[in-house]
Amino acid sequence: MKLFKRKKEPEPGQRLVLVVEGMHCSSCGLLIDDELEDIPGVRSSTTDVHSGRTTVRLEEGSGVDTVALVAAVRRAGDYRARPAG
């Protein structure tokens, strides 16, 4: 687990935003970020509990799909995710 690891600089690669339901506190966001960052090809994940959104940055050409990201959010706990937009 990579609790409290945050990067300040923007990273290259594709950016995907997920809408996440079921979060109650900042610990929920950390659990989701840790689960997403365990996926090969995910560079970083930043969850904002107040807006209910998670921004995921992927490595160039990683091939990570939305289905894998949504499944990772579900593994983190009783959360539901869908692509934003």
What single DSSP character describes residue 63?
-
CA distances from 37 to 25, 54, 85 (A): 19, 12, 22
For 27-79, write each residue's pLDDT tens digit: 999 999 999 999 999 999 999 999 999 999 999 888 899 999 999 999 999 99
For 37-51, write each residue's pLDDT tens digit: 999 999 999 999 999
pLDDT above 80 for 8: no
Check residue 18 and give its pLDDT. Answer: 97
